[in-house]
Structure 1
Amino acid sequence: MRTILNVIWLILAGLWMCLAYLLAGLVLCITIIGIPFGIAAFRIGIYALWPFGYTAVERRDAGAPSFVGNVLWLILAGWWLALGHIVTGLVLCVTIIGIPFGIANFKLIPLSLMPLGKEIVPTDRPFATR
């Protein structure tokens, strides 16, 4: 079932959101300071491409640097990526078939706003850490 949902997601929203994250990652990687943010954007872009069967969990070793990084992320890229999820989610919720995919878009908003200090793991082991 996850594969079917992921394929439909890929067609309806995943490809476009993944491209947005990849573009953000490329722009952020222009400077040395932005490279960690670019890597986070690439990581979330892959998650946005194929989200069903995975979840984002807090990393236990994340601390104050993650918080500071998240504030910078929010200013640099997070707000417009979250806006993309909101618009895509609302458009998908117009149809009955698209409602689960719209909800999936809304679930990606917190991750798009504050990605640092989070890890993406399979849903069958949500408490796994590195």
Structure 2
Amino acid sequence: MSMLRLIGNVLWFILGGIIMGLGWWLAGLVAAVTIIGIPWAKSCFVMGAFCFFPFGKDAIRRDELYGREDIGTGGLGLIGNIIWFIVFGWWLALGHVLSAVVNFITIIGIPFGIQHLKLAGIALAPVGKTVVSIEEAQAARMANATASVMRKRGG
């Protein structure tokens, strides 16, 4: 991890990442208690850990990463995201948006505000996503773009 990422993650954690990460984990605990919410609970704990230290990582759709659909990236994933949005997603997204607004007040907080807005988008529909390093996400996206160009060219 680069020194800049480390500093960013430490500042992020101290200046609010811990609060939103704990919010994700609280949602995970509530989902786990319901038993039927266990698949959402797993996502909450993964995204909560991502929320604690987000710099140097990215959330990417699993089908984009692995090149194939799975249960969370197909039709059932869509239904899962709709249920998620109704039960947990909107208030986690709202927490990230409010945190972003607070961070945008200062110049130093602008990168943190931008990160909160990214996390707000993830909070709306996390089913079917996983967290990987930025380099892995870029490589997967580049491979998908190359494959798409080759298909369009007929190759």
Q: TM above 0.5, one fold?
A: yes
Bigger relative contact order (CA 8 A; separation at least 6): 1
Kindly provide the CA deviation profile for residues 44-83 of structure 1, in whole angstroms up to 9, marking residues without a partner as x. 0000000000001111122111100000000110000000
What does 1:61-80 align with in structure 2 at a 5 Å threshold?
Answer: 61=69, 62-80=73-91
Taking the TM superposition and a 5 Å limit, the aligned residue runs for 1:1-130 are 1-60=4-63, 61=69, 62-126=73-137, 127=140
Q: Aligned Cα RMSD in Å? A: 1.0
- Runs of 4+ that moved beyond 3 A: none
Q: CA-to-partner distance for each residue in 1:4-58, whole Å, 9 max, x for gaps?
A: 0000000112100111011111111111211111111111000000000000111
Structure 2 gaps of 5+ residues are 64-68, 142-155
When normalised by structure 1's length, the TM-score is 0.95
Aligned-residue identity in percent: 45
Query: Structure 1 residue 108: deviation in Å?
Result: 0.8
Structure 1 alignment gaps of length 5 or more: none
User: TM-score, with normalisation over the residues of structure 2?
Assistant: 0.80
Deviation digits for residues 80-103 of structure 1 (CA, Å, limit 9, x no counterpart): 000000000000100111111011
More helix by share: 2
